[in-house]
Amino acid sequence: MKLKNRHLLGLEGVSKEDIGLILDTGQSFKEVLERPIKKVPPLQGKTIVNLFFESSTRTRISFELAERRLSADVVSFATAGSSVSKGETLKDTARNIEAMKIDMVVIRHSSPGAAHFLSRVVEANVINAGDGAHEHPTQALLDMMTLKAKYGSLEGVRVCIVGDILHSRVARSNIYGLITMGAKVSVCGPATLIPRGIEKLGVQVSHSLEDVIPHVDVLNVLRIQVERQQSGFFPSLREYHRYFGVTKEKVSKAAKPITIMHPGPINRDVELSADLADSEHSVILEQVTNGVAVRMAVLYLLGAA
């Protein structure tokens, strides 16, 4: 059992078998996380660098925990903004890391394709922890793992991704992964935040939550960034909340209870109402737990061989 690619750069083009293997392996690691001693040895002697050129405390902590629980040696490097602004190019940074005999690199960067770029210039296995608005594969994998645990299979599960699709790597990775696994995917958000041609990726597009809610099992609610208001994408948070904020009242129109997901961190009562985030139908904390397990799975599958 082995993944076809030696890097995890994205979920576009990753086969059903490979995603299935990662999810199953992740499920096995979930058991490890329940143990009193949550550490297992398969990456003993391996060195992993977490290169975070964009701040993300959650993803970094999740990766670090996953790495340490697999007994890897871990170095984390976080700097806001691009390395270019610090005078050193990403290529130089990468070459330097290589010279330090590193086995795996986890990279978060604001430029789409940064992980691809890195995989071309270093020998180490590269894991994309988010590249601009392109992909965030481990987030989508943990989302899928959470849904698979809930629904048994992803086949036919109806998932709507709500919010700023244009700037969202989480949306893209989820679209690629979920469609491969047979789920029915739609996106819902203001017309300004739905990128052109997205329907050609196999998703349905809607601009009305009310229309969407009766036809879905899951709402994956994305974080809305206030800065987008200044760029003319939407008029105000108040209006956004009113029309695209997911609230108890809106989801109550569904025949069956809708599962609520969010990649975090939540702007409570903006894109998602607080009572719904804390409700029994929210799987947001399971997502966090599964994040560590699925990252262990990816690290193990790429790194232990």
Partner 1 sequence: MKQTKVIDTVGFRRTVDRLAHEVVEKNKGAEDIVVVGIRTRGDYLAHRIARKIEEIEGKAVKVGRLDITLYRDDLRGRLDQPQLKSTEILFDIAGRVLVLVDDVLFTGRTIRSALNALMDLGRPATIQLLVLVDRGHRELPIKADFVGKNVPTSQKQEIKVSMSEADGEDAVYLIEKDD
Partner 2 sequence: MLNMILKSGRLIDPLSGKDETVDILIRNGRIEKMGKSVKHDSTFEAINLTGKIVTPGLIDMHVHLREPGFEHKETIETGCLAAAHGGFTAVCCMPNTNPTIDDESVARYVHEKGKQVCEGIVDVYPIASATKGRKGVELSPMAELAKAGAVGFSDDGSPIMSAEIMRRALEYSSMYGVPVIQHAEDVTMTQGGSMNEGLQATRLGMPGIPPVAEELMVARDIILLRYAPEAKYHVAHVSARGTLEWIRNAKREGLSITCEVTPHHFTLTDEAVSGFDTNTKMNPPLRTKNDIMAIKEAFKDGTIDVIATDHAPHTIDEKEVEFLQAPFGIVGLETAIGLSVTELIETKVLSWMQLVEKFCTNPRRILSLPQIKVEEGEPANLTFLDPTVEWKVDIHSFHSKSKNSPFDGRILRGRALGVVNKGRRLFFPS
Q: Which residues contact 255 (CB under 8 A, 6 or more apart)?
A: 214
Round to whole Å and give the CA distance between 158 and 217.
5
Residue 169 interacting entry, from partner 2, partner 1, none, C-beta within 5 to 8 Å by type: partner 2
Q: Which residues contact 129 (CB under 8 A, 6 or more apart)?
A: 50, 52, 56, 59, 60, 63, 106, 107, 108, 136, 138
Identify residues 131-150 at the interface with partner 2 (CB under 8 A).
131-135
Round to whole Å and give the CA distance between 119 and 135.
15
Contact of 283 with 150, CB cutoff 8 Å: yes
Three-state DSSP class for 274? helix
Residue 25 interacting entry, from partner 2, partner 1, none, C-beta within 5 to 8 Å by type: partner 1
Choose the stretch contacting partner 1; rule: CB under 8 A; options: 11-19, 39-47, 59-67, 258-266: 39-47
In whole angstroms, the minimum distance from the beta carbon of 104 to partner 2 comes to 20
Identify residues 274-303 at the interface with partner 1 (CB under 8 A).
297, 300-301
Identify residues 59-98 at the interface with partner 2 (CB under 8 A).
82, 84, 89-91
In whole angstroms, the minimum distance from the beta carbon of 14 to partner 1 comes to 17
In whole angstroms, the minimum distance from the beta carbon of 17 to partner 2 comes to 22
Q: Is residue 37 near partner 1 by the rule CB under 8 A?
A: yes
Residue 42 interacting entry, from partner 2, partner 1, none, C-beta within 5 to 8 Å by type: partner 1
Contact of 78 with 60, CB cutoff 8 Å: yes
Choose the stretch contacting partner 2; rule: CB under 8 A; options: 62-70, 194-202, 210-218, 297-305: 194-202
Closest CB to partner 2 among residues 187, 272: 187
Choose the stretch contacting partner 2; rule: CB under 8 A; options: 105-113, 177-185, 239-247, 285-293: 105-113
Round to whole Å and give the CA distance between 26 and 256.
28
Residue 82 interacting entry, from partner 1, partner 2, none, C-beta within 5 to 8 Å by type: partner 2
Which phi and psi angles does 132 have, rounded to 5°? Answer: 55, -135
Identify residues 265-284 at the interface with partner 2 (CB under 8 A).
none
Q: Is residue 1 near partner 1 by the rule CB under 8 A?
A: yes
Is the alpha carbon torsion for 11, 17, 23, 26 positive or negative?
negative
DSSP E strands in 72-134: the ranges are: 73-78, 104-109, 125-131
Q: Prior bond to 265 cis, omega within 30?
A: yes
Which phi and psi angles does 21 have, rounded to 5°? Answer: -65, -45
Q: Is residue 117 near partner 2 by the rule CB under 8 A?
A: yes
Q: Which of 5, 27, 76, 267 binds partner 1 (CB under 8 A)?
A: 27
Contact of 107 with 137, CB cutoff 8 Å: no
**Contact footprint for partner 2 (CB under 8 A):** 12, 82, 84, 89-91, 109-114, 116-117, 121, 131-135, 169, 172, 195-198, 200-201
